[in-house]
Structure formats: C-alpha cells, structure tokens
Chain A
Amino acid sequence: MNLVTDHPEAHWLPSRHRFALAKLIAYAKLRGARDVASNAEHLILPIDRDQTSAEINGVAIWVFVTTVCYIAAALPLIWPAAIIIAIPIAAIVLQFPTVGIGPIVRMLIGDGNHIKIISAIAMSLLVIASSYVAASHSWARYAAWFFFAVLIVNGAAAIVVWFLRGPIRAAEERCAR
C-alpha cells in the first residue's frame, strides 16, 4: 500500500475514492487545493480506494434509504408505520449477500478476501430489485428511478475520468511527491 505523508491535500487524491463520481469530485477539489490547513503535526495518508468516509458513508446511506423504501412499499401498512418497520428489516436484508453468499464463496474458492465478489453480487441484487420497483406503480418507484439516475451519472463520470486519466495521474504524482 502506498502512503503519502504530510500533504493534507492528499485527502483529495482520486485514488482514495471508489466510485467514478467521487473520483471526479476529488480531482476537482485536488486541483483547487492550495496549502490545505491541518491541525496534525504529522500526517500519514494511505492510498486506498475505500479510504474516504464521506463517499462510503454517503453510498451506505443512499443504499440503505433505497432499500428501506423498497421494503416499506412492499409492506401492507400505512407508509409511516411501514417505514419504521422497514428500517430494521433493511439493515438485516442488506447483510444477506454477505451471510448467505459469503460462506458459499468461501466453500468454492477457499478462505480469503471475497469483498469484490460479494460487492458485485450485492450491487447486482440491488439493480435487479430496483428494476422491478422502477417498473411498478408503487411510490417507491421514485427511489428506484433516483437509483438508476445515480448509476447513469456515475457511468458518465467514469467516461470523463477515463478521458482525464492522464491529468489525474499527473496531479496525483505532483501531490504525492
């Protein structure tokens, strides 16, 4: 793992972000970052794509709220009650890919890091669920449409990031130097 020391602006290295949209925002912030102040007297920042809290927490909240909406819409209750009941159910449902598929993956390919596989499966299940809800007449279809809108924007951001890969690499090298 690579580390950057004593460069507070390295918080905005695109390589420290997972999703294309976040990488693009980080690149914009990195370009604008000049002499970022830090309270720390010494700083060690690892370059890891899952390092940024705002991005990961933001995605977690978005996925959770979307799942709560889908479950609440499926419950035969008035919506305020349905949402309250859907909150703990969503927290359990989101763990199914790990608990249900994790042991199978472990059995098939052995002990080790299966995060990529579980992550792909979990996102695929979410896409399938969103496709179903988006085509329905339920109020949750707006959450599903929003879900797909975010996916499309992230896809567009991925194209922009690909075209900007040279300047991004140069900016990262300048920052980490």
Chain B
Amino acid sequence: MTQSAWWRRFHARGVFWRQLLRFAILNVPPWIEPIVMAFWAVFFLLWGPGRRGVMRNLKVIKPGSLAIANFFRCYRVFWNYAWTIADNVRFKELRTIPDWEFIGWNHFQAMQASNGAILLTAHMGSYDLGAHLFSETSTRRIVMVRAPEEDPQTREFEEHHGAEGLRIEFNTRATELALDLLETVREGAIVAIQGDRVVGSISTLPATFFGKPATVPAGPFALALAARVPIYPVFVVRAGRRRYRLVTSRPIEITRSRNRDDDFARAIAQWMTELEDVVRGCWYQWFTFEPYWPEAAA
C-alpha cells in the first residue's frame, strides 16, 4: 500500500472513521454513550469544509443570523449527525431499532398499498435507517438509490457491513439505472431516492428553495412521469435518543400535459414546499455539508 493510500483512510470520508464508529457501537456502554457523542461531535467541527458548508446553508435558512450563533447551531447539526450514523450502525450490527412515530400514516399506508411508488426524501434524520426499516417490515420490495462512497475502502466496508434484504443502487450509471428503476417500479416496488441535493454529474431541474434559485435531481420526477406512479415525500426525523419520527406527506402526482416543463415545475414546487417546511423546522438535522446554493458557495 502506498503512503498516500495509507493516509487516505483518515480523511473525512475515509474508512477509519467507519471502523472506529463500528468499534464504538460494539464497545461503548449506553450510559457513557451521550458523553462520547458530545465529545466526538466537537471533532466534526475541525472538519473545515463541512463546518463552513453547514454554516453557509444556515445563513440562508435563518436570514440575518449571526456567525457565532450558526457556529453553535453547526455543532447541533453534527451532534444529530453523530447520533443518526450511530443509530444506523447499531441497527446493522446489533439489530437495535429505535422508537418510531408515524405522522401521515394514511399516506404511508397508501404508499405501501400502491402498485409502485417513488419515495422521495432528503439528507436528514436517518435515511438509511428508515430504508432498512421498510425493507424489514414492508411487503413491498424497496430499492434505495444513493451516491456511492467516494473512498474505495469505505465503499468496500459499507458493502461488507450492509443490512440484508435491501437492494442499493448507486446513481453513477445514469442511463442503465434509469431503465432498471423504471422496470422495478413498474413491477410494484418502491424506489427510495434523495431529492434535495445534486451529487455528481446527474441531470437536474431548476427549483426555488428558501426564495433562492437551486437545482434538484431530475431522476425521481422523470421516473414518476415515465412509470405513472405517485411520489411520496417521506422524511425520517430524529426526535430524540433512539427515537425517530417518520413524516409522510400527501403524494405528488405528475400529470402529463403538452408542456413537460410545466408538469415538472408543478411537481417540484410541491416538493420544495414540503422540503422547506421540514428543513425550516428541523434545520439541525439537514445533513448537507456542502454549500447548497451557488451563491452560498461563493
């Protein structure tokens, strides 16, 4: 192994931190855990790009907020992030599930009963944990689409320690994946996609988020239109220690008209309204560590 490859494991997205987290889950007594979390969440603040990304996003979500206040808010974001990734690993390793509260239960049941649907969610709370819960409790097959880990060792580690019964597809092979997903959703499965931020070179659609221009992945909307299935906005919100709230909103139906851009625009406007409501209320668990808006990145 080369020197650079050896060091790569300690990078922010390196495999060492995943291994350390797994070790902690298997060895830290629960009654020491809150102290360990508070301590290690401080170390996230040393991750400059992540910290700056969160603070810039908070500046837009909370207009007029002070930098010092956003610094402490940033700690709260990292604290929640630490808990959610820990809960996810705890589920994979020890099968420990948290308390679940469902809001919008009728929409959730409708999604389960539907003959194919898109579950559109955001980088908040524990998306992974929610998907694993569905895979174990639902009669529907669920396919989760996500961005792959950047680091090859981290990717290998995650594949090795993944939960059974959940099919994960990576959004790197766009055309092939689109056809696969179309077939899957037509067979009656639920396809879970994160629709809040654009990762990598995927096709996008214009949107307005917190009054500023933004882009969202085009994939879920194009898939819903092609497969003629509804999109269910679902958010997995951390409500406390080992306690999550699963909020399902009314479905987004994409109706076909002569103007496809208008069809998408209406669907995206509804999605952004739902997303904005949730992010405004739960800004402390919107895990977007890069500046979301182009102007926030400047």
Chain B interface SS verdict (over half): mixed
Which residues of chain B come closer than 8 Å to A97, judged between CB atoms? Answer: 29, 32
B240 CB-CB contact with A under 8 Å: yes
Tell me whether A44 is interfacial, beta carbon within 8 Å: yes
Given contacts A1-B97, A43-B100, A53-B240, whether A60 and B33 have CB atoms under 8 Å apart is: yes
Whole-angstrom distance between the alpha carbons of A110 and B47 in the complex?
Answer: 33
The answer to whether A53 touches B28, judged by C-beta atoms less than 8 angstroms apart, is no
Cβ contact of A122, chosen from B29, B38, B95, cutoff 8 A: B29
**Contacts A60-B33, A64-B35, A98-B27 given; does A42 touch B241 at CB 8 Å:** no
Flag the segment in A75-83, A111-119, A136-144, A145-153 that touches B: A111-119
Q: Are A48 and B96 in contact (CB under 8 A)?
A: yes
Query: Is A63's CB under 8 angstroms from B94's CB?
Result: no
138-193 of chain B: CB within 8 A of chain A: none
> A18 to B100, alpha carbons, bound, how many Å?
20
Contact B102 A40 (CB under 8 A): yes
Interface flags for A14-54 (1: CB within 8 Å of B; 0: not) read 00001000000000000000000011111111101011010
Task: Assess the B103–A39 pair: CB atoms within 8 A.
Answer: yes
- Per-residue interface assignment for chain B, residues 96 to 114, with 1 indicating a CB less than 8 Å from any chain A CB and 0 otherwise: 1111111111101000000
Which chain B residues lie closer than 8 Å to A18 at the CB level?
Answer: 30-31
A-chain residues with CB within 8 Å of residue B106 when the two chains form the complex: 41
A17 to chain B, nearest CB (A): 11
A60 / chain B contacts, CB cutoff of 8 Å? 31-35
Contacts A51-B99, A53-B241 hold; do A118 and B28 have CB atoms under 8 A apart? yes
| Residues A42 and B243 in contact, CB atoms below 8 Å apart | no
Q: Which residues of B contact A48 (CB under 8 A)?
A: 96
Query: A11: which B residues are within 8 A, CB to CB?
Result: 99
B95 CB contacts on chain A under 8 angstroms: 1
Q: How large is the interface on B (under 10, 10 to 19, 20 to 34, 35 or more residues)?
A: 35 or more
Is there a chain A Cβ closer than 8 Å to B72's Cβ? no
Complex Cα gap A91–B98 (Å): 26
Verify B102–A42 contact, CB threshold 8 A.
yes
Q: Which of A44, A63, A115 contacts B99 (CB 8 A)?
A: A44
- 3 closest residue pairs by CB, A with B: A40-B101, A119-B29, A41-B105
Beyond A53-B241, A95-B28, A122-B29, 17 extra complex contacts between A and B, CB < 8 Å: A11-B99, A40-B102, A42-B102, A44-B100, A46-B97, A53-B242, A53-B243, A56-B30, A60-B32, A63-B31, A63-B32, A95-B35, A98-B29, A98-B32, A98-B36, A119-B30, A122-B32
18 A-B pairs in the complex with CB atoms less than 8 angstroms apart: A40-B101, A40-B245, A43-B99, A43-B101, A46-B98, A48-B96, A53-B243, A63-B35, A91-B35, A91-B39, A92-B39, A94-B32, A98-B36, A106-B27, A112-B26, A114-B26, A115-B29, A119-B31
